[in-house]
Homo-oligomer: A and B are copies of this chain.
Amino acid sequence: MYQKKEIVNKLRSSGLRPTKQRIVIAKNLFDRKKTFHFTVETLNIAIHRKCNERISLATIYNTVEAFKRAGHIREILTSNNKNYYDTNIKSHHHFYDPDTKELTDIDYQEVVLNKIPNPPKGKKIKDLEVVISLQKK
């Protein structure tokens, strides 16, 4: 269970003022048993369900972007044309079901790579993600 203090520290440590709105959003994102795969829309709905004070959509967009830049959440690769985020920032992989457009985490140890290519000149590898697309048997 996340204390308010921890959230405030998390925000402060990444140079973000701990405003009322950011604290509500952070609590919603990080105070969960399982990691959360979300879009701005689903996050917005989750917030509205839990608390009665309304947070502007623009703020949710701003905050999600700020959290992303701070490394508190990460953007997920999809073939949707909306931004998809994940509160699990550890390197990990996903199953993707194109029928339901649902993502499921795959633990990092579940995938073992034996060989990966060298990055192009001047670049280094930031992250490696495996997406396993599914279909009905």
Binding site for B on A (CB under 8 A): 75-84, 95-98, 104, 106-107, 110-117, 119-120, 122-137
Minimum CB distance partner of A113 in chain B? B113
Residues of B within 8 A of A107 (CB): 117
- A129-B94 Cα distance, complex, nearest whole Å: 10
- A42-B107 Cα distance, complex, nearest whole Å: 36
Q: Supply 6 A–B pairs (Cβ within 8 Å), ascending by A.
A: A110-B117, A111-B113, A119-B132, A125-B132, A126-B135, A129-B133
Number of identical monomers bound together in the oligomeric complex: 2
CB of A64, distance to nearest CB on chain B (Å): 13
| Further 10 A-B residue pairs, CB within 8 A, beyond A106-B117, A127-B133 | A79-B83, A95-B123, A110-B115, A111-B115, A124-B137, A125-B132, A125-B133, A127-B132, A129-B130, A131-B131
Residues of B within 8 A of A82 (CB): 81
